[in-house]
Structure 1
Amino acid sequence: MSKDIKYLFITIISLIFIFCSVWLVGINFAVIMLSLFICLNIIYFEKQKQKSIINPVTFIGLFWFLYTNADFINNIDNSSYLKNVSGYVYFLYTLIIVIFYIAYSTFSFSPGKKKYTFSSTHEWTIKIASSISLILISVQYYYLIFVFGGWDFIFLSKGERTLLISGVSIIYTASSQILYMLAPLMYILSKRNRLRSIKYLSYLMIFSNVTISLLIIDRSNLLISILPIIFLKDHFNKISNYLLGLLSIGAFIILIDFKNLVFNILNNSSVFSLNIKIPEEFFVSFSITKDIIEKLESNSIEYLYGMSYLETLLTTLIPFVQVDALSTWYVKTYYPSIYNSGGGLAFSSVAESVLNFGIVGILIYFILIGYVFKSVAIKKDNSDLFLLFYSLLIPMTYKLFRSEFYSLIKTPVWFWIMPLLLILLLNSLFNSVKMKGK
């Protein structure tokens, strides 16, 4: 039996099962199964195209499933749940994954004939990036030990940690974010130039980033630390299916019980007391989208008509211009107690799209996301610069459903793209001086 026939057979059986489960189990269960069917199809097709499940589109499918269905899992016994605004929001979330994947699969680009690799012409890139990396690692641990209070920091509450970290100098934030970019950069440089010492330095940065992420119990930073390197190791060496299985189990723990697990370890509690429940952030984002739609329908808030995007571009291009991100505005306006305690809520690109242009905003935004992802995916084969960006896109998929445009753009531009361009510019400058000296 050919693969196509097997796939068709499994698809028909799956759709019959989903259809029958509406009456046999319940509508909410059927919705969850339909989402799982869409998610697994995206993973299957991308595995066929790219010969690996470690790619940004696979992770978009996975995170889409988690953020779309967490609310339904929490309300699985509520038969009327789909009849209110939740049904419309589910339709919107399903629309975005379909629109994104159609756009991603449809767009076609030429990768270009000229190859760009971080090879022997990047001697100064290696020297500069190595020096910056060691300095920034030192800065990280300086803040952890002398500013955050060292061991005492571990036993602070989540709110206390958030307030303490948010109150520190931009130097700490910048050092951590730049290291997220430098670690995969150094790994690519080590592979292109066969320099084992540079590879070990990239591992040191990963170790530092992971350690800090564990101590501050930050799931997002942990994913940004490890996912690009896992992709790059698979890209250059191909990771075995066995190891991928172990990594998948680890990723499941990180996504589902990370904060509880790390908190138990740090406080000498039982390491094995897994508390399998959906993290709050997975259904808060969906709930906020519902809330925004209800407020728009009741005219308690007005459409922004692109203003949040314009403000993001303005504050990105001119960093001294300060505007509140939508997540900050939302919490400050509707949940001041959470805001004052240093907490926040996971505003999303979906909610922002609706708040700006309604359903049309969703279509435009996720078509553009599909365009960007496809462009980087094609160009990565001919350019190490885009290979680096591609590796960093993987953890960014996590933020796509829990962060607005402001958070998605400003950090990568100022802490990833700008430092990288500066390093490459200095490398080019020093190479020119060296050539003139000859």
Structure 2
Amino acid sequence: MSLTAFSALPLPLTQLSLAAVLQCGQSFRWSRYHLGNDIKTPEDYEYRLCLRDRLVCLRQSPTTLYYRTVTPLASENDEQRALREAETLVWVNNYFQLDIDLSKLYVEWAARDKVFDNLKERFIGIRMLRQDPWENLISFICSSNNNISRITKMVQNLCTYFSPPLLSAPSPVPNSTEVIEYHPFPPPSALSATSTSTTLRGLGFGYRADFIQKTSKMLVDAHNTKPNYPDGREPAEHWLETIRALPTAEARNELVQFMGVGRKVADCVLLMSMDKKEVIPVDTHVHQIAVKHYGMKGGNAKGKTTMNPKLYDEINEKFVSIWGKYAGWAHSVLFTSELKAFAAYGLADVSSAASASAPALLRGQSSPPKPKSGVPKAKSERILPTPPSTPALSRKRKSDEAEDVRQTDSSAGSLADRVKQRRR
């Protein structure tokens, strides 16, 4: 197995805060490891994500993003290592959409919205990820009537039970002897068998088990008639990626054909993996934000809200009129600020270096700065305080510790009822 050293990408926290972006309910597979000695005052973390062919490891200081690649290869020469690091840098820039100047957007949103202006200093660096559409779709089918902690457990169980381990790597925690297996996200074919539903129900997926299996089978039946692509992706995965090029309404219509995908889940996928930056997934939490801060009408006399297409569209139109074409991005900052897990976020002192101007990469240059080699010095650099941890893959999670994320308004009922109502 080849372990490469950390490379450095100049990037201030105002452009990207891993502590917020990787913990606020966008992606559910990042493992977080505390590198310090005092868990009561966390200062340094490493984040890891297993891709199809590599493990990506990230650390952060107030001015720099550090990245490292771990591969399953027994050995690599210098040329191979350089190629791997270059590929990982491309992936990092694409996944975090670093060509978009977040600091500039914050200034624009604050000028147009007093509510955002009051939050901008505390909730810095929150940007939208550009995720793999297939993983994003299945993850948000899991999100129905669920919370971040349970979704995380479900998504990581999908990987553990339906995808063989890519590699094993030592824990980055000081003095730890733990060796951890890392699994990539399973492809559609791995989840399409009829027996998948039974296995998933045994893992606590409930009615979502049928949605996942049937959606996977729909994709496989329609698109997996051709061989896999050179990068290992199945044709169904590639087809989902082509939806990015469609207009928003057409892309949404494609997504709501799948089991368990209604307007809200489809909009989560459009925003988080299909480049539809203006889209706002509306649920009770987002409606409460609209009522609390922006003068939208509340629920009935009992405080309950029945989400319908008219109200959904009104909330979207309201926020787009305030925040513009990146309304989906702006809403994610407000959404994060309302999560209980972030109640104390950003209240501690942060190094003034965090407010440094964006690097050349973020000002529109076509090529990124040349990475520098070297492992970051964890003890000398602080990162923002973080919400409750997402444990490593090998650790047991409690299922109800985090704030509900993008809950639907559907009530409990039979599977048949839920299928009939899935497009609400």
Q: Which structure shows the bigger proportion of residues in strand conformation? A: 2
Higher Rg? 1
TM-score, scaled relative to structure 2: 0.29
* TM-score under structure 1 length normalisation: 0.28
Indicate the structure with greater helix content.
1
